[in-house]
Chain A
């Protein structure tokens, strides 16, 4: 079974530029998560999708971050414009169902450096 795929693996951009990350979840997984992990901290949930609807985006900085899930499968996360404090690893995860006793599987992550 293929895992969660993310691209790119690494990205370096200058502040005020824009960047986009892509995620392909495990086939059949209805729930998709985007997390931000700053060095030395645990992952912080940015947005959670159930199929192509948003379950929670309370911690997404909506003035600069946006995310969509195309046809309930692939997802993209965009930052525009980027700030220095956005430097982090962006992790995508998927699970069969929303919250209820199902295991979450993570991709390798995209390491973003904003200079």
Chain B
């Protein structure tokens, strides 16, 4: 059974800081790993999808890396802004188990 852990559970930073959110998973036989953003009372918005054969993906100020062998992914947010405040979730998909989410990292960026 796949288990996904996200650290830290919560983070509060001043505007402008560069951030690192961590996601670890126990079964490295994944097809892909996806990072999502969830605003309060809303659904999930896909941020980045990393295929199992890829090492990283970038979109604007976001960069996600994947190290399958160590069971880790990192979401890097550059020059954080108050609008980045949300919960960030990672999820893995694989052939032998169902799509599995972590509990998320709740981020607050204050002006």
Footprint of B on A, CB under 8 Å? 4, 6, 33, 35, 40-45, 48, 56, 58-59, 91, 93, 99-109, 111
Cβ–Cβ contact A99 & B46, under 8 A: no
Q: How many residues belonging to B are interface residues under a CB distance threshold of 8 Å?
A: 26
Candidates A35, A40, A101; contact of B51 at CB < 8 Å: A101
Residues of B within 8 Å of A105, CB to CB, are 46
Within 8 A of A (CB), among B90-111: 91, 93-95, 98-104
Cβ–Cβ contact A108 & B103, under 8 A: no
Cβ–Cβ contact B44 & A106, under 8 A: yes
B103 to chain A, nearest CB (A): 5
Cβ–Cβ contact A59 & B98, under 8 A: yes
B96 to chain A, nearest CB (A): 10
CA distance A71 to B104 in the complex (A): 34
Cβ–Cβ contact B95 & A99, under 8 A: yes
CA distance A109 to B95 in the complex (A): 26
Residues of B within 8 Å of A91, CB to CB, are 43-44
Residues of A within 8 Å of B52, CB to CB, are 101
Candidates B31, B42, B89, B104; contact of A99 at CB < 8 Å: B31
Give the nearest-CB partner of B32 in chain A: A101
Cβ–Cβ contact B43 & A106, under 8 A: yes
Cβ–Cβ contact B103 & A42, under 8 A: yes
Residues of B within 8 Å of A48, CB to CB, are 98-99
Residues of A within 8 Å of B83, CB to CB, are none
Contact with A along B40-61 (1 / 0, CB 8 A): 0111111001011000000000
Contact with A along B60-104 (1 / 0, CB 8 A): 000000000000000000000000000001010111001111111
Residues of A within 8 Å of B45, CB to CB, are 106
Cβ–Cβ contact A43 & B101, under 8 A: yes
Cβ–Cβ contact B98 & A40, under 8 A: no
Candidates B4, B34, B51; contact of A42 at CB < 8 Å: B4
Candidates B31, B34, B102; contact of A100 at CB < 8 Å: B31
Give the nearest-CB partner of B53 in chain A: A101
